[in-house]
Each structure stands twice: as structure tokens, then as C-alpha cells.
Amino acid sequence: MVSLMQGRLPINQDVLLMQKGMLVRKVRSKSWKKLRYFRLQDDGMTVWHARQAGGKAKPSFSISDVETVREGHESELLRSLAEEFPLEQGFTIVFHGRRSNLDLVANSVEEAQIWMQGLQHLVDFVTSMDQKERLDQWLSDWFQRGDKNQDGRMSFPEVQRLLHLMNVEMDQEYALQLFQAADTSQSGTLEGEEFVEFYKALTKRPEVQEVFENFSADGQKLTLLEFVDFLREEQKEGERASDLALELINRYEPSDSGKVRHVLSLDGFLSYLCSKDGDVFNPACLPIYQDMTQPLNHYYINSSHNTYLVGDQLCGQSSVEGYIRALKRGCRCVEVDIWDGPSGEPIVYHGHTLTSRIPFKDVVATVAQYAFQTSDYPVILSLENHCTWEQQQVMALHLTEILGEQLLSTTLDGLLPTQLPSPEELRRKILVKGKKIQTLEEDLEEEEEEEVLESQLEGEQEAKPELEAQFESEPQELSPRSKDKKKDKKSKPIMCPSLSALVVYLKAVSFHSFTHSREHYRFYETSSFSETKAKSLIKEAGNAFVQHNAWQLSRVYPSGLRTDSSNYNPQELWNAGCQMVAMNVQTAGLEMDICDGLFRQNGGCGYVLKPDFLRDIQSSFHPERPISPFKAQTLLIQVISGQQLPKEDMTKERSIVDPLVRVEIFGVRPDTTRQETSYVENNGFNPYWGQTLCFRVLVPELALLRFVVNDYNWKTRHDFIGQYTLPWTCMQQGGPVPQTLASSPAPAPFLMLSSCPFLGYRHIHLLSKDGTSLHPATIFVHICIREGLEGDES
């Protein structure tokens, strides 16, 4: 299978040495440190390991699994072993998603450099792969799994085993027929391109071919005009269809002659449909496309709860890795619980539990390093301060010295603001959220007084010597406020002034009632609510909560009963306009899928502009009882087919999935619903459903869609295969329903929607439970959205 990637792999000396293999020490903890033989396989894309050179090897990871490679000094674990192993010999392999890092120690600095540089070289190559190269790599990975004796070729028994691994249930005689047709060398085995041809025979898409032939006069190609017709009629591209057709042919037509003749083959048509241009997610919503100049309280803010934890809330590990992962996935509000530590250094952990402890200064240094790697927009440090006065001073020192210019320590222009600044104004700034001794107005008054005192002192230094003597014998009277400050310092208040001064726009205050907040609080003061309290307020006074969140920031955090670090559904809180809905980002599942789905848009920058009716302090919107004038919509989704669906448990070679698709809507309570297709028995490779689901949504601006593929299992209520979640407003839409699809089973009222104004053929690229790509696993759908509800004549 080497030939599949040959000529494209970026081979260098480091990669060649990695392919020879090397003995390194694998480190899991201070007590678990074992020698293992790691080797990059000949395909250049997978790393295997064994207990020793020549020993029985097994797959360790694929290059596509790797996000980056870090040096030894960046690993908490390797730093703790610095006396035992030189940090220069250590390195860390960081994986996508929530997979644990792999810490390794080489026998020399040179060997560590070989692996660090070689791995990063290959990771950069994989990241820059185009669609065809990614498919070739995926095939190469499968070939490695199927080639049990690792001789570089596949016999028919090995192919049969591979078909089961790939979720294909096939008649043995037909499988042999395809095998023999692909075996052009007549060697009785499949190698390189022969395996590719076998795969192509397996993955023919009759449902795509039908669409293609509906527009192709000769059934072999789409001329430029035919492709323009398809884009205009089916994908609703309108005026830009002509220019777009040429652009797409040049991008996706595999043959040079086809590009020259301006025609699109079936392979090119399929490549287009499977690309980002044919994705269900509208490409226009991928970059930063929203207005970023509105006040902070007008945005949903991607927020993390107890960010330092990478496990449960009682005995879990505290690690700076929690901050790295949260910030790199786009979180803009991270939480820090600080307590008095040994030797005068504050520590971070979940108080009164058995969770491990990390130094506060390490957390601050990590935030400084990773805050703006994913997004330039502001990071909020939500401090839960439990320290004594002395260690609060140390906290303030670390924040100012380590963060430096990144830390916002005064208002942007030194003047009293009338509203919160915007994400745009706060680019690359870190804000402290926490308790504060006094108001922002008092802070600014003090700053003015200090400036006056400073100018007086400057004048005094330039005065005559006798005047200096007079000042020495006659101490100057301090202003009443300065007197109070001196007195406060002697009595050592619970809140340290130097730490208090770092809280500018995000002063934490207790919530009493919406009326109390309106009458006594200022726009820069923010309250936190437990999920239980917030949900109760939504039911009791939903509209008041919406109006509150239109002028002040709110933070919601998970119930203290969630000791397993489980999550709550953030949608209910977003419906009321709550901005910082803090999640246990270390825990994968439905709730994090919803959170990731919302923040997938707008460049993944961590800020999403709330709908206008949640930004109006006089809004009449009630999340529990939404009424007009919201623009209700009807959604019609035909779930057509699935492609290359993976197994949940790869160890069950003989089992093949029975997939079904469930479409879930999350939004206001009346809109929240789900529907599913029937299941297809024993076919995860190319199942066909052809079933239509319909939904009626009152408030589309707040709705998210989640497409879930499950393996039917009546005992366990189905096993998860993959999912994809996106905002309703970010769906890519297109043209009228073709009669071939309109005739498929559907609720009677929708059979007449052949003139539906928005629809299109789209692929949904599935993600794992961890949020990582399951490429090339997809589901193929046809989407139609129409204004108004079913039966609505308006």
C-alpha cells in the first residue's frame, strides 16, 4: 500500500530514521515509566509500538490523530521528573479531541529532536492535504489494518476480514468477483492501486448518479451549461451560478482535459458534493462574519467551568492541560479556583475535595501562552478567590507580571464608560472577573487623585531646598479617601486592594432579584447563577431574565451535584440570553455537541452575537412562551444515504452496524423535538434510507440541528456512531425538490412542496463523540426550508 502515498510523502532524514524505529521511554506517571520500541510504518502515516525491537507490534496512533508535538519542558509530568530525565530528551504528542497526551523520553537529545521534528513535519503535511490525499490516507490506514501479516498485499481472506471491519455485509461470490476484477496483475492479491480500484467498486453511489443523469444529456458528463442549470435549479445559486460553475469545475474535476473543455465528470460531481462547497454548513458562516463592535453583553461567550479539571469534581486531576484544551477549542471564559498554598504561593484546585493541586502562577503562564492562539478576542479569567490577604497580593503580582500588556487593568480610555466595551475593542486582552472592594467610578476618581499627587510631587522635587525642609517638618494632609485607604490597609480587609484594582469591567456581585439589580447594580457588574437557580428564574420570570441579560452579563455554572463532571443542556439558558453558560468541556456528549455546534460559526472565535430580540432591554420575548412576530419556518429533510460509517467497537470484527439517522432540534421548548428514520440492517458502508422528516420551528434564530447516526440496538436504546450539530441559521440552502425525491415517503402536506424556495443536496460530515472528524463518514441529505408553518397561508 506504500505506492498509494508514494511520491507525495515529505520524506526527510528524520522520517527515514523514524521508519527504522527507536527505543524510547513511555511515561504515564511518576511511577509508570517503561521502555517501548516505537516505529513509523512504511506508509509514513501510522506509528506502531512493541515492548522491544522485533517484538509483536500493535498500532499506537495515526499521524492524522496528532494535533501537535511539544517539547519536554511544556509537560507537567515530565517537569516533575526533571531530576530523573533531562527535559531536553522528553517530548509530548498531543492528540485531537480529548485523548490523553503521550509523554515520551528518548535516550538522547538528538533522538528526541528526530521524533519531534519528524512528527511535526508529517503533521504539517497531513494538515495541508487536499480531499483526494485525505481519502488516500484513509484507505492506507484501512489497508494497514486489513493486511494482517503486514506483507504489503491483501489476499481474499484478508479482504473478507477487512470488509467486516469496514461495516460491509456482502455476498462472498460478489465480493470475489470484485476482488478478481481489481486484481489486474492476477497475483491473487491486491496491492496499491488495485486496492483503490476495489474500493471504488465498493463505493459506487447510485443515488448521486441519478441526480447527475437528471441533468446530463449523455449520462457521461455535465457540460458547463448543464452544471449551471444544476446549480441554479437545485442548489439555488441564482445569479452567481455561471461564474461558480467554472470555479467548481476547475476545483473538483480530476481530469485536465475536462477542465480545459469546461465539463464535469461523475467523479468530479461527487467530489464537489462531498466538499466544503457541498457541505450542510454554509461556508459564509465559517469566517468571522458578525458585527464584533457591540457591547460584550450582546454576545454568547464560549465558557468553561472548573477549567483546571480534566476528570471528575471529587478526585480528578487538576492540570494546566485543562486550560490549554479549553482555550484551543475556543473558550473565552475560563475559571480559576484559588486557595492558599505552601510557601506563600496560591494553588488552584477544587476546594474541600481530593482533586490534585497546581500552582496559580503556572495557570497564569499557560493562559498567557495560549489565550490568543485560536482567537484574538478577549479572554475572561473568572476568579473564585478563597485566599488570604497576603496570597491575594501574590496573585495580583503574578497576574500583572506574567500577563503584562495582555492584562486589562484600567478602562480602555481612562474614562468612565456608559456600556461594556466590544470584543473588537478588547482584542488580545485578558479581563479579570471577580470581587471588587469599590465601584469603577471610585477607582477612576482615585486614579485622578493619584495623578494630581504625582504632579504635586514632581513640582515639589523641583522646589527650593527650604521648601523641601518645610515639607519634611510639616507632613501633608491626605485626602479623606486616601486616609480611608491607609486605614483599610492596616486592618487588612478580606479583599486585597491590588487584586481588587485588576477587576475593571467584570465586578462579581450577588444576585437578589431582577428589580434589585436594575435599581442597585451597574452595567459592569455581573452575577453568577447555578443551573438550578437559572432554570427556575426562566420559568418564573423569563422575560425579566431576557431584559436583565440585555444590559448585564450573566454566568451560569453546573449544579454541585454533577460530581462526575456531567453537563446540562446550555440551550435553555441561551434562550434567555445568558452569555456565559459554563460547561465541563472535558466531558463529551450531547450537551457539548450543542455547545460546539453554536460556537462552530463566526470563525470559532468564541463570541456569537445574540439575536436582536435578546439584545433589547425592552424586549417582550419570553423563552417559555414565544409568540409572534418571530418568523416561523418549516423544515423538510430527506435523509438519502450514508457513507463509510464506522463501528463504535472495532474489536467486534464480525459485527456490522444497523444504522439509523435521528434529527434533533434544540431551541425554545415548543421547537425542541426529534425524529428518526428506520434502520438499515447490516450495512454501515453505504446504507440507503430515502426517508423524509419534517419540523416546524417558531424561533429559528435560536434553533440548532443535530444529526445523529446510531447503531440500532433495542437493548441499549441504540449505540452512538457519529453526529454533527450546527445552528439553523448556518445551514446552506438551495432550490426546488425534484419529483424523484418528492415522491418518496413523506407526510402528505409536504408532498406539494415541489416549489420550496430553499433547499439543496448536502453532505453532513460526521464527528466522533469526542468532536473529531470521522472522515470520510457522511450522510447525504436533501434540505428544504420554507417560511411559515405547515398550513400557514401567509
CA distance linking residue 660 with residue 712, whole number of Å: 7
The backbone region for 717, taken as left when phi is positive above 0, alpha when psi lies in -120 to 50, beta otherwise, is left
Q: Is 23 exposed, middle or buried (CB count within 10 Å of its CB: 0-12, 13-18, 19+)?
A: middle
Q: Which of 298, 305, 763, 765 is catalytic?
A: 305
CA distance linking residue 632 with residue 610, whole number of Å: 18
Residue with cell 425592552: 618
* H or E stretch covering 674: strand 673-676
Q: Among residues 103, 107, 40, which one has the least CA distance to residue 77?
A: 103
CA distance linking residue 565 with residue 181, whole number of Å: 53
DSSP calls for 120-189: HHHHHHHHT--HHHHHHHHHHHHHHHH-TT-SSSB-HHHHHHHHHHTT----HHHHHHHHHHH-TT-SSS
CA distance linking residue 774 with residue 97, whole number of Å: 12
CA distance linking residue 604 with residue 376, whole number of Å: 11
Residue with cell 435521528: 662
Q: Among residues 693, 156, 68, which one has the least CA distance to residue 369?
A: 68
CA distance linking residue 357 with residue 96, whole number of Å: 25
Collapse the DSSP code of 36 into the 3-class scheme (helix H, G, I; strand E, B; otherwise coil) and give the result.
Answer: strand
Q: Which of 350, 622, 765, 782 is catalytic?
A: 350
Based on its alpha-carbon atoms, the radius of gyration of the chain, rounded to whole angstroms, reads 30
Amino acid occupying residue 635: L
| Helices 224-233 and 206-215: angle between axes, nearest 10 degrees | 110
Q: Among residues 418, 437, 421, which one has the least CA distance to residue 429?
A: 421
CA distances from residue 518 to 7, 419, 550, 617 in whole angstroms, order as listed: 68, 14, 12, 11
Collapse the DSSP code of 577 into the 3-class scheme (helix H, G, I; strand E, B; otherwise coil) and give the result.
Answer: coil
| Contact of 52 with 43, CB cutoff 8 Å | no
CA distance linking residue 347 with residue 361, whole number of Å: 8
| Contact of 354 with 315, CB cutoff 8 Å | yes
| Contact of 4 with 136, CB cutoff 8 Å | yes
763 is catalytic: no
**Alpha-helix residue ranges (DSSP H) falling in 36-108:** 76-80
Cβ neighbours of residue 571 under 8 Å, at least 6 residues apart? 594, 666, 667, 672, 702, 704
Instruction: Write the DSSP symbol of residue 771.
Output: S
Which grid cell sits at 548? 436583565
CA distance linking residue 374 with residue 166, whole number of Å: 35
Collapse the DSSP code of 215 into the 3-class scheme (helix H, G, I; strand E, B; otherwise coil) and give the result.
Answer: helix
350 is catalytic: yes
Q: Can you give the length of the chain in residues? A: 794
Query: Could you give the residue numbers annotated as active site?
Result: 305, 350
